[in-house]
Chains A and B, each alone.
Chain A
Amino acid sequence: MSEELPQALQEIAADFAALSTQDRLQLLLEFSEGLPELPTRYTDHPELLEPVPECQSPIFVIAEVTGSGADAEVKIFFSAPPEAPTTRGFAGILNEGLADLTAQQVLDVSMDLPQRLSLGEAVSPLRLNGMGGMLTRIKRQVREKAEL
């Protein structure tokens, strides 16, 4: 149940846990605003990104994998419109929390991550489902591309 999260995600979870409900929303907003723009190789080819239908707003995700096997390098890119700040915030958390992980480390991230961010009261548990959807798709892409 409570497998350890990778360090960056662990720190993010600790940051959220230390805040009041209102400040958790503010931190989520900061993640939303900090989500990097897509590189042009994807803005020019949006069909390369995979939609995440669990989110209530349009979001697209692609995992780039260099090499294969457990140690393959993973880079993840997200696209979500500014009118969907909650979804962008979830993407921002994954963007920062999964940065510099290997393929196996991404696959090992616990699926209860969304429930470990202390966000249930701030955004409602139902809205957290979208983040699980993103993580599921990222893992599937990584598994396929790294041939794990």
Chain B
Amino acid sequence: MTVAHDPDSKFAEYAHPERLVSTEWLAKHLSDPELVVVESDEDVLLYETGHIPGAVKVDWHLDLNDPVTRDYIDGEGFARLMSAKGISRETTVVIYGDKSNWWAAYALWVFTLFGHSDVRLLDGGRAKWIAEERETTKDVADAQPTDYPTVERVDSGIRAFKDDVLDHLGNPLIDVRSPQEYTGERTHMPDYPEEGALRGGHIPGADSVPWARAAAEDGTFKSRADLAAIYQDEKSLSPTDDVIAYCRIGERSSHTWFVLNHLLGFEKVRNYDGSWTEWGNAVRVPIVKGEAPGEVKQA
């Protein structure tokens, strides 16, 4: 049994309303034993400054990434992590975080690679919970270890690698980085130089849709109609298209992946987590500079 969905009327418009919960809904369900709240932030100390009561912390650097290979943890590592956080395979997981849920969406995407079925985002994330002056605590609850099964990651459905992107050229690609990164004026996001790349620009044919266009000012997702106006009307994408999204390391594009897949109901969306820190450093991959998507040259 999973926890009932949030019946919020805004969510009902989305393709998969069960993937979002409101702050109000979460406040009422905090003591539900079948629900675990996960905080996932860019800033590794934010959780320690105070978090939603009962929430556990999952850090993208320290918990989800393999410490040696540039990849995610494996099935055994994920099972260990879930057990340590008191999450069983049937648990309803609600993830929230800073920066309009970038890292929360990224964590949700990684949970999805392991096929965890009921994983949702808190609409508006940490900032909305705090702005509404809802309860927070510094207490870290003792999680009861679970018997989470070892499930191997399945990358094929929602994850794209560099070779997949090369094969995909000519099909819809969305670059969710800032306009300056897209044109090649910058090789890194403002304020993030340490994850830079040797070359600037974008993947040929990629359309620029900065991730933040999907978020309202308070960090919540825009309404379905507003999202459709951007991706379907303005960018002429269709829910049956095969789409790959990318950014710098795959965190902002997880946000866009969530929007396309769960909110607009696109059936085949992959996140290229190698993103620009791989493409912009790779030898002999095609790159386009400037504002236009550019031509795909057939090899």
Report the nearest A residue to B57, measured CB to CB: A25
A82 to B43, CA, bound (A): 11
Asked if B190 lies at the interface with its beta carbon under 8 angstroms from chain A, I say yes
A56 to B61, CA, bound (A): 14
A29 to B50, CA, bound (A): 11
Chain B residues whose C-beta falls within 8 Å of the C-beta of A58 in the assembled complex: 191
**A25-B61 CB under 8 A given contacts A53-B193, A56-B42, A56-B192:** no
Partner of B48, one of A25, A56, A126: A25
The answer to whether B49 touches A87, judged by C-beta atoms less than 8 angstroms apart, is no
Most chain B C-beta atoms within 10 Å of own C-beta, residue among A87, A122, A126, A127: A127
Chain B residues whose C-beta falls within 8 Å of the C-beta of A26 in the assembled complex: 48
The answer to whether A124 touches B62, judged by C-beta atoms less than 8 angstroms apart, is yes
The answer to whether A87 touches B48, judged by C-beta atoms less than 8 angstroms apart, is no
Asked if B30 lies at the interface with its beta carbon under 8 angstroms from chain A, I say no
- Kindly provide the distance from the CB of A132 to the nearest chain B CB, expressed in whole angstroms: 9
A89 to B43, CA, bound (A): 11
Chain B residues whose C-beta falls within 8 Å of the C-beta of A56 in the assembled complex: 42-43, 191-192
Most chain A C-beta atoms within 10 Å of own C-beta, residue among B49, B190, B194: B194
> Contact flags (1/0) for B193-217 with A, using CB distance below 8 Å?
1110000000000000000000000
The answer to whether A53 touches B45, judged by C-beta atoms less than 8 angstroms apart, is no
The answer to whether A124 touches B48, judged by C-beta atoms less than 8 angstroms apart, is no
A135 to B164, CA, bound (A): 41
Partner of A83, one of B44, B46, B192, B194: B46
Asked if B98 lies at the interface with its beta carbon under 8 angstroms from chain A, I say yes
The answer to whether A85 touches B61, judged by C-beta atoms less than 8 angstroms apart, is no
- Main secondary structure on A side of the interface with B: helix
**A123-B44 CB under 8 A given contacts A29-B49, A82-B49:** yes
Chain B residues whose C-beta falls within 8 Å of the C-beta of A54 in the assembled complex: 193-194
Segment 24-48 of B: residues with Cβ below 8 Å from A: 42-46, 48
Partner of B45, one of A86, A121, A126, A129: A86
A26 to B192, CA, bound (A): 25
- Kindly provide the distance from the CB of A53 to the nearest chain B CB, expressed in whole angstroms: 5
Most chain A C-beta atoms within 10 Å of own C-beta, residue among B45, B62, B98: B45
Partner of A57, one of B43, B48, B127, B194: B43
**A28-B45 CB under 8 A given contacts A83-B98, A124-B61, A127-B61:** yes
Chain A residues whose C-beta falls within 8 Å of the C-beta of B194 in the assembled complex: 54, 126, 129
- Kindly provide the distance from the CB of A16 to the nearest chain B CB, expressed in whole angstroms: 14
Segment 111-144 of B: residues with Cβ below 8 Å from A: 127
Segment 62-113 of A: residues with Cβ below 8 Å from B: 82-87, 89
**A127-B44 CB under 8 A given contacts A29-B49, A82-B49, A83-B98:** yes
Q: A28-B45, A89-B45, A127-B44 are in contact. List 11 more A-B contacts (CB 8 A).
A: A56-B42, A58-B191, A83-B46, A84-B43, A85-B49, A123-B44, A123-B61, A124-B44, A124-B59, A124-B61, A126-B61
Some 9 contacts from A to B, beta carbons below 8 A apart, are: A53-B190, A54-B193, A82-B49, A83-B46, A84-B43, A124-B44, A126-B61, A126-B194, A126-B195
- A residues bordering B, Cβ < 8 Å? 25-26, 28-29, 32, 53-58, 82-87, 89, 121-124, 126-127, 129
- B residues bordering A, Cβ < 8 Å? 42-46, 48-49, 59, 61-62, 98, 127, 190-195
Closest 4 interchain pairs by CB?
A124-B61, A85-B45, A129-B194, A86-B45
